[in-house]
Amino acid sequence: MYINGEWVKALSGDSFPVTNPANGQQIGAVPNGGSEEAKLAVDAAADAFPQWAAKTAEERSHLLRKWYECILDNKNEIAETLVLEQGKPLKEALGEITYAASFLLWYSEEAKRVYGETIPASAPDKRIFVVKQPVGVVAAITPWNFPAAMITRKLAPALAAGCTAVVKPAEQTPLTALKLAEAAERAGIPKGVINIVTGNPEEIGEVWLGDSRVRKITFTGSTEVGKLLMRGAANTVKKVSLELGGHAPFIVFADADIDKAVEGVIQSKFRNSGQTCVCANRVYVQAPIIEKFVAKLREETKKLTVGDGLDPATTIGPLIDEAAYRKVESHIEDAITRGGQIECGGKRVSAYEDGYFVEPTIISGVTDDMKIMQEETFGPVAPVLSFSDVEEVIRRANNSPFGLAAYAFTENLKTAITVYEQLEYGIVGINDALPSVAQAPFGGYKESGLGREGGHHGIEEFLETKYVSIRI
Ligand code: ADP
């Protein structure tokens, strides 16, 4: 673990294994930390905070820029570690490292643009100023699906704002997080500014929630754990940002460019084996083109290659673990039982029995009562449904407790505008299946989350607003 600028073991000496989801083999072990290590990390972050906050924005900017460079200098090694513990194809892992680093570059600039305001006063002898200040120590809890990007998307704006941080990466993917910390150390980020604690999620989470020095919790993960953290944060009224589950509708209108729409479904649905919170989870296709669309989608899906992420031919890696596989399997079985037809895929890949590989799958004849239509699948399974008109599809798309990402493919401007205005989603891609970038606000409506990451919106989450009234 990395606490107060030192590489340390758990106080108990215990560690836990990290395994490769492609073959079940152990690739390393990390310290099994708990409440004591969680507290030591907050001690370090709280001690480092005054000095870090007092640095000029330009000094923080330079250090973030240096961290960005150190990550890119070591891009291949970090990407390989990511593939080994997470499973995604190497090309996607390299893409993730570039994406992860882009937040450091962008916020190294934004650090210099945290502006205040002056406001006209109500009395001639008064002056009103508004200044922004860092919230303090930030606790970040991150998931396994983007082990690098979910850390930098939080730490880049936090550090730019002048906050220090304690981080708990997912137990499946702690090695990438530690590689990022190595790069931060090489970049000269002062000790205590970033602390990474690996180990027991409940114990670590409880200590951070209970510690009044932690002023902000930022979390990406399941809606269930997000709600638990939000409740826990209430006792000390911490600021909370949550990036939770999604159930993205992907709508294809009859006037869409079918080739682009099919390419969009492949990118959105099968990237990271369908394990992203913005993955298309339901594909609605307008009735007149559904047969043509499914035929084309089936043809393109069959071109995908399932395999070990380190094999250059691989385009679909394994699912992260047994539990993930069971969920995907249960969604496919439930859809078949309720009358869905498998257009392609549908089975576990038998050639790799020690990994959790699922064939990229398309299911047609899907109905709204199927599990796959209610829960986030988090696997390479695309259910396809038909719809008749724009009002109907918007109603069906919005009929969900989630509201993270939605996609629509159409060549008609009026349809595009109607759709983006009426969809109750935080991110809408029109003819664009990959909208996430560092300079834009990422986040959800409804139970998909609170707050935004990325863009100038993202740094606000780590700033307090102070109003100063001066009588002269
Ligand atoms: P997933 O189902 O995708 O694994 P989780 O929400 O369980 O998503 O995990 C996301 C992150 O939340 C991980 O780092 C995990 O260790 C952490 N986590 C899980 N349960 C808790 C908890 N009770 N308190 C704090 N963190 C938790």
300 alpha carbon to ligand 1 midpoint, in Å? 34
**DSSP, residue by residue, 192-212:** TSEEE--B-HHHHHHHHHH-T
Residue 189 pLDDT greater than 80, yes or no:
yes
Burial code (b: 16+ CB inside 10 Å, e: under 16) for 236-261 equals: eebbbbbbbbbbbbbbbbbebebeeb
Nearest CA to ligand 1 atom 11: 143
pLDDT score of 204: 98
pLDDT score of 352: 80
* Catalytic residue of the set 70, 163, 277, 279: 277
pLDDT score of 351: 77
Q: Which two tokens stand for residue 255?
A: 């006037």
> How far lies 460's CA from each of 150, 406, 470, in Å?
17, 25, 25
Ligand 1 proximal residues by C-beta, below 6 Å:
141-143, 168, 170-171, 201-202, 205, 221-222, 225, 228
Tell me the per-residue pLDDT of 396-411, one tens digit each, with 9 for 90 and over: 999 999 999 999 999 9
Residue 431 pLDDT greater than 80, yes or no:
yes
Give mean pLDDT, residues 128-149: 98
215 alpha carbon to ligand 1 midpoint, in Å? 20
* Catalytic residue of the set 37, 243, 359, 447: 243
Q: Which residue has the higher pLDDT, 353 or 441?
A: 441
Can you tell me which atom of ligand 1 is nearest the CA of 169? 14
pLDDT band at 135 (very low <50, low <70, confident <90, very high): very high
Nearest CA to ligand 1 atom 14: 170
Tell me the per-residue pLDDT of 221-257, one tens digit each, with 9 for 90 and over: 999 999 999 999 999 999 999 999 999 999 999 999 9
Residue with tokens 């200098």: 73
Nearest CA to ligand 1 atom 15: 170
Can you tell me which atom of ligand 1 is nearest the CA of 225? 6
Nearest CA to ligand 1 atom 2: 222
Crossing angle between the packed helical segments 174-187 and 57-73, to the nearest 10 degrees: 120
Residue 124 is which amino acid?
Answer: P
pLDDT score of 350: 79
206 alpha carbon to ligand 1 midpoint, in Å? 12
Give mean pLDDT, residues 299-318: 97
243 is catalytic: yes
Give mean pLDDT, residues 41-51: 99
> Which of 18, 85, 141 gets mutated to test ligand 1 (max ligand atoms within 8 A of its CB)?
141
Give mean pLDDT, residues 190-210: 98
pLDDT score of 353: 80
32 alpha carbon to ligand 1 midpoint, in Å? 15
C-alpha–C-alpha distance, residues 408 and 256, integer Å: 9
Residue 116 pLDDT greater than 90, yes or no:
yes
> Which of 167, 173, 225 gets mutated to test ligand 1 (max ligand atoms within 8 A of its CB)?
225
**Strands 402-403 and 341-344, sheet pairing:** unpaired
Compute the mean pLDDT over every residue in the chain, rounded to the nearest whole number: 97
End-to-end CA distance of the chain: 52
Give mean pLDDT, residues 431-444: 98
219 alpha carbon to ligand 1 midpoint, in Å? 9
